[in-house]
Chain A
Amino acid sequence: MLKRKSKILVTLVVLSILLVSVNLVVFASDELIVGVGGWAVEPTKRALEELNFTEKTGIEVTVTTRPGSPPEFISQMTSSILGGQTPYDVIDLEDDAAINFSRSGWLVDLDPIYDDAFWEDWTPGMLEMVDTWNRHEGELFRIPHNYETQYFFYRKDILAEKGLEVPQTWEEMVEVGKQLTTDEMYAVSDGLAKGGYLGVYVSYLTQQAGGNPFDFGPALRESLQFIHDMIYEHEIFPSSALNKDFDQVNNDFVNDRVAMMRMWPYFFDYQESQEDWYNEDKVGVALPPKGPEGRDTFVASWGWAIPNTSDKIDEAKTFVEFMTSVENAPKLAKMSTWFLSPRHSIMEGIDVEESRLASNLKKYSDAGVISSRPFHPNFRQASSIVEELASAYLTNQISLDEVIERGQEQMKALEE
């Protein structure tokens, strides 16, 4: 009896060792894996279907979600690439993550895919943005597929009801805000969580105060003070926002808990998807309230990039070329605002008045309030420094002076 039991045991042990050592469980895929943010999965899938990508190129594609916030995404990708692999063959990259990846040398140069005719489709402003945020040492490591500026959304109906005008300056925001705030609704909110959200709002306000957040100068001081006052002194801004990302704030807005907010353009699609709630008269878009030095909002873009550890680089290039070609760009822009940018072909191809986003983009651009994003070569860590100190100040752990002092120290250490 002992003999039989031990034989079974031995076989089991040997089998497990074999299984583990040979790593028999292989889940490789023959499909091209494209990683996009959660909100972009549906639009991308639909675009591929309607444009018949697989029929035209013979390439099967799996569109999957990548971590939404830059630091988490960077961690995931870095470990993977260091191991000689990548979880995705094509990635949709935001500016934040792109900067760090560019300097690492891990992304494939996309220049060879495009010719001069392609670049003629781009406006001078866009080309400038491409150079700063998408090129490194001459190589094009990412090709933007959209051009997003942040809009100032407000509840037309509620302001009209209370006989209020849309605020045009920071001071008016406070005045109007006090009259708007009730027990159920805050006048103003934004996503103030760390991890790529708070940094955006702080940069936005700091620019309006006339400076660059990474300098840790008077402009940053003014903008942080403004947020702090809105939360604690005027009480028109909820402190719970300190734990919220953009999706949660959007959720608050469509549940009547917030009346005004700065938000990225995917909110246009989002609000319309709330069929029970949405109607045309509820939400209006106004120019950003003017700060001490300006009322600018900055541009950000997402773009396609190919990690050079992918084993399907050629197919990936085909995908990228397809999704950004002059022929397809207008069609994609019509399908989803995720692919909207002021490229000539797109502006000609779509009816500007028909699309809320395009008409607002035009409004902002005509008013000259679109500027470029505050830049830093080690964007990710610099942003983390700003966010951590800003968050500590906004939760009343340190004073503004300490924010400035520590910030300058840490930035210096970073740049050494």
Chain B
Amino acid sequence: MSVLSEELREKIRAEFPNYPNKRAVTLPALHLVHDNLRAVSREAIVEIAELLELHPAEVHDTMTFYNFFKDEKNPLGRHRVWFCRSISCMLRGGEELLENVCHHYNVHPGETTADGRMTVEFAECLGACEGAPCILVDDVCHMNVNPSTASALIDKL
């Protein structure tokens, strides 16, 4: 019983022509699986490795280098909200914003809320320093966020 659907496998295979070898498709494959399944499980790694003709350890070590990818023990919630903690955001209240949100939604950085709605993470510089403090909600960056605008955003997720 395969963890990766045929559709997902097709999407991964579609990347092959872009690179001279299959190994380079490791990150795109991890992203595709992670977005779709909210985690990259052990079985998924084995299947990705098979598709890419790699040993499972060669996929797994790349995956763990970026603390971006979750494994099956800590899957992502429906949404992922990153709070920048680097210098420009820290100087304008970014850390307090994170603390406020964690307190409000009763969750720690790296964890998912009990209702599965969102996973809260701290991030390093998100490159939106002109709008510090900023947060990244899934794939969209929001700037000049304060605790109330953050809650408003999150409640709409």
A pairs with B: no
Q: Chain B: residues with CB nearer than 8 A to chain A?
A: none
